[in-house]
């Protein structure tokens, strides 16, 4: 059976311009070069230790990892990792990290979603009312789930985010 066109991967030899900002701290890492990171399983560990642990919580990690995923191909592209370790190795490692963060969020209690949403908003240094209004309107958080996530798992995540938005919104309204 032939693979549908939407599931074809990018050719690894194709050059690609990546427009993401740098997120890997060069001096504070235990590895000085991506070539020092054992391939391939350790690359996900490296990403968790050097990139994801610097983010305040799993919701922020989820949004960050989803931002590295190309909306057309579903491939994860990182400005340094994709270049240094290869597009497919970086894609596999980032995909693994994204799926792990998603699984953790599925077992997170609702009050923790509220806390993580508040921390995410503080981390972005955005106006809280604007973030809440935009998230409710665009529902961009729906695009943060990993490709291939079960529908029931995705809906649980969406429901938890929606409730967290309502709780944070009510807290803001009560303060005013």
Judge contact between 45 and 102, C-beta under 8 A.
no
Q: What is the pTM of this model?
A: 0.77
Beta bridge mates, 69: 76
| pLDDT tier, 41 (very low <50, low <70, confident <90, very high otherwise) | confident
Percent of the chain with pLDDT over 90: 72
47-56, 77-86, 149-158: least confidently modelled range: 77-86
Per-residue pLDDT, averaged over 5-11, amounts to: 42
Q: Which residues of 128-154 are buried (b: 16+ CB within 10 A; e: fewer)?
A: beebbeebeeeeebeebbbeebeeeeb
How many Å apart are CA 111 and CA 116, to the nearest integer?
9
Burial (CB < 10 A; 0-12, 13-18, 19+), residue 77, is buried
Q: pLDDT tens digit string along 102-142?
A: 999 999 999 999 999 999 999 999 999 999 999 999 999 99
Give the start-to-end residue ranges of the domains of the chain.
32-106, 110-175
Average pLDDT, the chain: 84
Judge contact between 55 and 27, C-beta under 8 A.
no
């Amino acid at each position: 059976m032939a693979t549908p066109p939407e599931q074809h991967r990018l050719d690894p030899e194709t050059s690609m311009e990546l427009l993401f900002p740098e997120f890997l701290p060069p001096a504070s890492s235990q590895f000085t070069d991506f070539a020092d990171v054992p391939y391939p399983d350790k690359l996900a560990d490296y990403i968790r230790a050097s990139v994801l642990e610097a983010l305040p919580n799993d919701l922020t990690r989820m949004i960050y990892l989803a931002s590295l995923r190309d909306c057309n191909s579903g491939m994860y592209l990182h400005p340094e990792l994709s270049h240094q370790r290869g597009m497919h190795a970086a894609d596999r490692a980032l995909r693994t990290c994204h799926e792990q963060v998603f699984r953790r969020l599925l077992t997170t209690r609702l009050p923790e979603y509220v806390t993580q949403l508040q921390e995410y908003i503080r981390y972005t240094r955005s106006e809280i009312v604007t973030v809440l209004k935009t998230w409710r309107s665009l529902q961009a958080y729906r695009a943060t789930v990993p490709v291939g996530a079960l529908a029931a798992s995705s809906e649980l995540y969406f429901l938890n985010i929606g409730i967290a938005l309502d709780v944070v919104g009510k807290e803001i309204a009560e303060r005013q």
